[in-house]
Amino acid sequence: MVKLQLAFSALCALLLFGKALSENRTSQLFEEIGSHTKENFVLSLFDIELILFEIYAGNAILNDSNLRQDLIIGIGDSEVKKEMQALATKYRKASRAQIKMASRVFVPQEDPLSKEISLIYSLLTERAKKHDYNKDVKNSRTMEKWVSENVDRALTKYALDKKATQLVALSGMSVTPQWSIRFKSQHNRYFDRKYGTGHSKGPLCVPMMHTLLKIETMATDEAKGIFIKFVTTDIGILFLLPRKGVSCQDVLDNLSTQINAEMDDPRDINLILPIFKANYEPDISSVIKKINMASVFNGTKFYSEFNIKIDEFVQNTVIDIQPNHNLTEVNDIDMKNIEKFEVNRPFVFVIKDKDSIYAVGRIENLDGLTSQVNCSRKYYDFD
C-alpha cells in the first residue's frame, strides 16, 4: 500500500463543499500528488467527496435532530437538499457511465456516529436510484470484495486494540470505458519511456488500438489533447500528451488550463491508444488529519467545530483501457497521410464531464500494465 504524503493546504482548498469540486482546486491536489509520486498514479476525487460528505453529514445529523428529519423526508433547508441531490445525481451519472464504485466507513457500532453515517449513505444511494435508474446504480463486485476484506482487517485490528482503530474510510472506483467510438484494429507499437521524464529507460513494445475518425482536439503550450466520450453520458477521458521538453508534472501543475482549453473543430484523426490496466492504492489519512475541517465546512449545515479523526482513508482506483470488442491484430496501419494522435509516451488523463472531474491519473511508463507482445518492426522504423 502506498503511503501518500500530500500538502494539506492543497487538499483543504479542494474540499469546499456546497458546490461541485472546482477545476482549480482539483488541479492543486494533483500538483501535490505528482510532486511526491514520481511514477504512475490514479486517484478518484469523487470518492473523496462522497466519503467526507458521509462522515461530516453523519456527524451533523447526530447533533441536529431537525436536520436529520429534513434529510430523511426531503423537505426543509433547501441548501441541504441541494447538496444531497447534487451528489446523488453525480453518483447516478457516474454509474450510468459504467464507473463502478464501492465504499464503506467503518466506525465501531457502539459509536452513535456509525448509525448516522449508514443513514447518509442509504439516503445518497436511494436518491441516486430514483426515476427508474435503479438498474444503473451498481457497485463493482471486485471493489466490494476489496472493501469487505479491508473492513474485516479493520474489525480484527479494533478487536485487538480498541484504541488503535476508530474510523476507517475505504473507497474503490473501477473504470472500464464504454467508448462512444469504435476501434478498428490492434497493432503492437512502442511506448517511449524516456520522453519528457529524464529517465534512461528504453522503449517498450505494447499493444495499441487504432481507429480513424473525425474528432475534436485541443492544444496548449504544455500539451495537446483529445477528449473521447463514453456512451450514455457526457463523461469521457481527456488524454493529454506533454510537448517536447514538458513533463507530466508540468501538465498537472497547470491542469486547469488544459481542462479549460477550447476544443478545435472536429477533423480526421488516426487515434492510437495503448491497451493497459493500472491501479493505485494510497492512504490519504495523514493529509486529512492536518486539514482544518472548520474552514472547509464553514457556512454550511455540515460545519463541525472539531475535526473528526480518520485513522485510515484508503482508496483503490483502477483504470482499464481496452476496446469494447475483439480487434483484428494487424502488422501495420495505413495512416492514409492523415494526422495521427498517438499516446506513445508518458501522459496524463482526466475522467471528466463539463462540470466535474471524477479522477485523474499520470502514466510515466507501462511496465507491468500491458500484455507482453513483440513488435514486428524496430523502434526506429516507426514514424
pLDDT in tens, the chain (383 residues): 443 433 333 344 344 333 334 444 444 445 555 555 667 888 888 888 888 888 888 998 998 888 888 788 765 556 677 777 888 888 888 988 989 888 889 888 888 999 999 998 888 888 777 644 445 555 567 888 888 888 888 778 877 776 666 899 999 999 999 999 999 999 999 999 764 444 546 799 999 999 999 999 999 999 999 999 999 899 999 999 999 999 998 898 888 899 989 999 999 999 999 999 998 888 878 777 766 665 666 677 777 778 888 888 899 999 999 999 999 999 999 999 999 999 999 999 999 998 888 998 999 999 999 999 999 887 765 55
Rounded to whole angstroms, how far apart are CA atoms 245 and 223? 10
Helix (H, G, I), strand (E, B), or coil: what is residue 119?
A: helix
Whole-Å CA distances, 172 to 84, 98, 370: 21, 14, 21
**361: Cβ contacts below 8 Å, ≥ 6 apart:** 40, 41, 42, 43, 278, 280, 317, 319, 348, 349
Rounded to whole angstroms, how far apart are CA atoms 331 and 170? 44
Residue 3 CB: number of other CB atoms within 10 A? Answer: 10
- Whether 102 contacts 149, CB under 8 Å: no
Amino acid type, 93? K
pLDDT digits (tens, 9 = 90+) for 348-363: 999 999 888 899 899 9
Rounded to whole angstroms, how far apart are CA atoms 167 and 112? 12
Indicate the CATH number for domain 185-277+319-381: 2.30.39.10
Rounded to whole angstroms, how far apart are CA atoms 281 and 178? 23
The domain limits of the chain are: 2-18+27-174+279-318, 185-277+319-381
Q: Which of 179, 362, 169 is CA-nearest to residue 280? A: 362
* Residue given cell 507482453 in the structure block: 372
How would you label 260-289 residue by residue, b for 16+ Cβ within 10 Å and e otherwise? ebeeeeeeebbbbbbbbebbbebbbbebbe
Residue 370 CB: number of other CB atoms within 10 A? Answer: 20
Please state which architecture CATH assigns to domain 2-18+27-174+279-318. Answer: 2-Layer Sandwich (3.30)
Q: Which three cell numbers stand for residue 111?
A: 459509536
pLDDT of residue 90: 87
In Å, how far from its chain's centre is CA 252?
14
Q: Which of 191, 253, 257 is CA-nearest to residue 225? A: 257
Residue 337 CB: number of other CB atoms within 10 A? Answer: 6
Amino acid type, 180? S
Q: What is this structure's pTM?
A: 0.85
Amino acid type, 25? R
Q: Where are the beta strands (DSSP E) in 155-286?
A: 168-175, 185-191, 204-215, 217-219, 223-229, 236-242, 267-274, 276-280, 282-283
Residue 144 CB: number of other CB atoms within 10 A? Answer: 16
Q: Which of 275, 264, 277, 267 is CA-nearest to residue 210? A: 275
- Whether 296 contacts 308, CB under 8 Å: no
Q: Which three cell numbers stand for residue 83?
A: 447538496
Residue 378 CB: number of other CB atoms within 10 A? Answer: 9
Query: If you average pLDDT over every residue of the chain, what do you get?
Result: 81
Q: Helices in the chain by DSSP H: which ranges? A: 8-14, 23-36, 45-62, 65-73, 78-96, 112-128, 141-160, 248-253, 255-260, 285-290, 293-297
**290: Cβ contacts below 8 Å, ≥ 6 apart:** 8
Radius of gyration of the CA atoms of the chain, in A: 22
- Whether 212 contacts 187, CB under 8 Å: no
Amino acid type, 188? N
What are the residues facing 209 on neighbouring strands? 186, 273
| Residue 355 DSSP label | S
